[in-house]
Amino acid sequence: MTSVGTSLLILHLLEARDMYGYQIISELAERSGNVFEFQEGTLYPVLHAMQKDEYIESYAVKAENGRLRKYYKITERGKKQLHAKKREWRTFSTAMESMIGDQA
């Protein structure tokens, strides 16, 4: 999957609620029936790039075990990006479906 597709999925999850990295990985796998399975080494570079582009922000929260956990949240810029990418995806998927959908 491309980083654009990955960022679209991540922004979609973060629009609903703030999450930490492992939550994002788990939620992507669960909702996709394990089609989207990411390792931390794959996810975190995407998250860092999204922070650089100001689509998401991070903040730390102390977990029950006393360690700090880094949460990610979508920004207003990220919400605009998400809605633009959803429109692009719908256009693309509709065009693909019209090209290959009914063919055997």
Model confidence over 13-42: pLDDT tens digits? 999 999 999 999 999 999 999 888 888 888
Rounded CA-CA distance 104/95 in Å is 17
Q: Which pLDDT band, with edges at 50, 70 and 90, does 2 fall under? A: low
Q: Which two tokens stand for residue 31?
A: 């909702």
Please answer whether residues 81 and 89 qualify as being in contact, where contact means their C-beta atoms are separated by less than 8 angstroms.
no
Q: Which two tokens stand for residue 67?
A: 């360690």
Q: Which pLDDT band, with edges at 50, 70 and 90, does 1 fall under? A: low
Query: How many domains in the chain?
Result: 1
**Is there a domain that residue 61 lies in?**
yes
pLDDT of 80 over the 60 cut: yes
**Is there a domain that residue 24 lies in?**
yes
Segment 58-70 mean pLDDT? 92
**Is there a domain that residue 16 lies in?**
yes
- The residue behind tokens 């479906």 is 97
**Nearest Cα to 7, choosing from 75, 91, 92?**
75
pTM, entire model: 0.84
**Is there a domain that residue 59 lies in?**
yes
- The domain that holds 61 is classified in CATH as 1.10.10.10
Arithmetic mean of pLDDT over the chain = 91
Angle ∠(65,67,70) on CA atoms, nearest 5: 125
Q: Domain range spanning residue 62?
A: 3-94
**Is there a domain that residue 84 lies in?**
yes
**Is there a domain that residue 89 lies in?**
yes
15 Cβ contact partners less than 8 Å away, ≥ 6 residues apart: 74, 79, 82
**What confidence score (pLDDT) does residue 26 get?**
95
